[in-house]
């Protein structure tokens, strides 16, 4: 009898499968895509420069990559292709007060400058704006630790120019929302406490700068995500996991677990099911996934554009564009290793609590979003070289309350349905590192129950 049936081959699903297979449980994995040969490009060819990696603020992703790249037994070879590689954040160029491009002031925390009167701050804010921001150093802190919204805090301490020109572009790029809609504790953890100690917001940014760099450092497997997925599947096979090249057509809860019907008509009973909402799943599993689906999503487009003629082509540019509809898009333009230029556009957050999967946008929805993408490209003075690839992705949480609501829903489902484990980045607002950490943790609990260590 199969112990655990894993639906899908996302990285969190495979991480969970590995935790279960490593202790001798019988695992069957239904793949939702062909097994990669390790040569696949990251990302899809023709759709932008390879990403630097994923944010790994707690080190969970690095720990997972170290685990899967290590030898299985003494004397066995390691797998260097999946070892973690860390890439610190690069500065970007922002619009200056005169309309050109200037490197962002550093050190900084989500755009908040540690030195409001340095050359970059003066160029971006102008003399009056920089002088207003510098008053932060002598302005008393009257609401110690009580500022909730980032926009209100920056506006009161540094002025509107600093909010609009330095902070807003980074907040829009990350959250798809205005700074007034994002809590300080979410945008910059520890900032309020540092403000209390330092007595100024710029001083707080200086105190947190190194920690912020660590939080923003991205981690990736040395040879790419496709190689990592191929290695995980190969390692699962070494532990005796069965691979099925198609997704199940039906899954029904029964007294002792789940009854699975596969595409070829084969039926089997399993003790537990692991699934990722990223993968199309049977109706009974989808109904459970809907209980923990993200509330907000945003459109992200990648499109090759003409050479923008930057004075410093080695640094990406970041700006926001307002459309006639009132929607504000974030635009990041950078050059890839083949000297091609790419624009990454991220739209405002959209509340769509019924959606289960991020996916490439097609049909009428694509037509509407493509029109917005075309307007944004035109607004920045660029020309598209080819059509845009548009996807929907979970939007990061803007508040601790919303994060806690989704956490409570996830924990309630796991308590109510212990034989069904839902994992995936969508459960963590798109954060892959958190999703992998959660998948490993919850599968450890599942394997303890299935092996009789705990009830």
Q: How far apart are CA 301 and CA 312, in angstroms?
A: 24
Helices (H), 78-149: 119-134
- Residue 36 confidence (pLDDT): 58
Query: pLDDT tens-digit profile of 425-448?
Result: 999 999 999 999 999 999 999 999
The residue written with tokens 């190689």 in the block is 227
Sequential DSSP letters for 147-167: --BHHHHHHHHH-HHHIIIII
The tokens for 25 are 């449980």
Q: How far apart are CA 105 and CA 202, in angstroms?
A: 12
Query: pLDDT tens-digit profile of 308-331?
Result: 999 999 999 999 999 999 999 999
Q: What is the dihedral of CA 43, 44, 45, 51, to 10 degrees?
A: -20
Least confident residue range of 248-252, 271-275, 333-337: 333-337
Q: Is residue 316 within 8 Å of residue 331, measured between CB atoms? A: no
The end-to-end CA distance of the chain, in Å, is 20
The residue written with tokens 């307007």 in the block is 375
Query: pLDDT tens-digit profile of 20-49?
Result: 999 999 999 999 887 755 444 444 444 566
- Residue 39 confidence (pLDDT): 42
Q: Is residue 449 within 8 Å of residue 418, measured between CB atoms? A: yes
- Residue 38 confidence (pLDDT): 45
pLDDT bin (cut points 50, 70, 90) of residue 145 is: low
The tokens for 397 are 């949480």
- Residue 2 confidence (pLDDT): 93
pLDDT above 70: residue 454: no
Helices (H), 24-149: 60-69, 119-134
Contacts of 1 (CB under 8 A, 6+ apart): 26, 268, 269, 270, 271
Query: pLDDT tens-digit profile of 156-177?
Result: 999 999 999 999 999 999 999 9
Q: How far apart are CA 141 and CA 144, in angstroms?
A: 6
pLDDT above 50: residue 397: yes
> Which H or E run contains 433?
helix 432-450
Q: How far apart are CA 149 and CA 192, in angstroms?
A: 11
Q: Once rounded to an integer, what is the mean pLDDT over residues 50-58?
A: 83
Q: How far apart are CA 168 and CA 163, in angstroms?
A: 6
Percent of the chain with pLDDT over 70: 95
Q: Which of 288, 299, 286, 277 is nearest to 424 (CA)?
A: 277
Q: What share of the chain is helix, strand, coil (3-state, %, to 5)?
A: 40, 20, 40
- Residue 358 confidence (pLDDT): 81
Q: How far is CA 300 from CA 4, 158, 220, 366, in A?
A: 35, 31, 21, 11
The residue written with tokens 């970007």 in the block is 92
Q: Is residue 28 within 8 Å of residue 4, measured between CB atoms? A: yes
The tokens for 39 are 């040569």
The tokens for 2 are 């199969």
The C-alpha angle 111, 117, 123, rounded to 5 degrees, equals: 70
Average pLDDT of the chain, as a whole number: 92
């Amino acid at each position: 009898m199969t112990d655990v049936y894993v639906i899908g081959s996302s990285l969190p699903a495979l991480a969970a499968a590995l935790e279960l297979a490593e202790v001798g449980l019988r695992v069957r994995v239904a793949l939702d895509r062909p097994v990669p040969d390790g040569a696949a490009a990251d990302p899809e060819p023709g759709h932008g420069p390879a990403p630097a990696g994923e944010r790994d603020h707690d080190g969970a992703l690095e720990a997972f990559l170290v685990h899967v790249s290590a030898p299985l037994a003494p004397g066995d070879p390691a797998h260097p292709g999946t070892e973690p590689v860390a890439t610190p954040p690069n500065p970007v160029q922002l619009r200056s007060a005169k309309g050109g491009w200037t490197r962002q002031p550093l050190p900084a925390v989500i755009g908040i400058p540690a030195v409001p009167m340095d050359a970059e701050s003066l160029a971006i804010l102008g003399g009056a704006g920089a002088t207003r921001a510098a008053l932060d150093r002598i302005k008393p802190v009257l609401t110690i630790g009580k500022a909730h919204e980032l926009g209100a805090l920056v506006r009161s301490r540094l002025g509107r120019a600093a909010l609009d020109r330095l902070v807003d572009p980074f907040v829009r790029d990350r959250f798809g929302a205005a700074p007034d809609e994002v809590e300080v504790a979410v945008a910059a953890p520890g900032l309020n406490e540092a403000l209390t100690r330092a007595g100024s917001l710029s001083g707080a940014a200086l105190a947190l700068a190194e920690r912020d760099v660590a939080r923003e450092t991205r981690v990736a497997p040395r040879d790419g995500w496709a190689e990592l997925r191929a290695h995980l599947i190969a390692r699962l096979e070494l532990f005796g996991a069965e691979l099925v090249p198609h997704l199940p057509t039906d899954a029904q809860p029964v007294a002792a677990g789940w009854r699975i019907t596969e595409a070829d008509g084969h039926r089997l009973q399993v003790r537990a099911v692991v699934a990722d909402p990223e993968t199309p799943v049977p109706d009974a599993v989808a109904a459970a996934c809907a209980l923990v689906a993200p509330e907000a999503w945003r459109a992200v487009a990648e499109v090759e554009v003409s050479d923008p003629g930057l004075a410093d082509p080695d640094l990406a540019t970041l700006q926001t564009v307002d459309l006639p509809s009132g929607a504000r898009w974030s635009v990041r333009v950078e050059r890839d290793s083949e000297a091609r230029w790419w624009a990454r556009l991220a739209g405002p957050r959209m509340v769509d609590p019924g959606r289960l999967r991020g996916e490439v946008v097609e049909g009428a929805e694509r037509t509407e979003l493509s029109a917005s993408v075309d307007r944004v490209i035109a607004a920045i003075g660029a020309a598209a070289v080819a059509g845009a690839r548009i996807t929907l992705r979970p939007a990061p949480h803007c508040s601790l309350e919303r994060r806690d609501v989704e956490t409570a829903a996830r924990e309630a489902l796991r308590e109510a349905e212990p034989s069904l484990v839902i994992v995936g980045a969508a459960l963590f607002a798109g954060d892959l590192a958190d999703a992998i950490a959660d998948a490993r943790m919850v599968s450890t609990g599942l394997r303890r129950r299935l092996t009789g260590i705990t009830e």
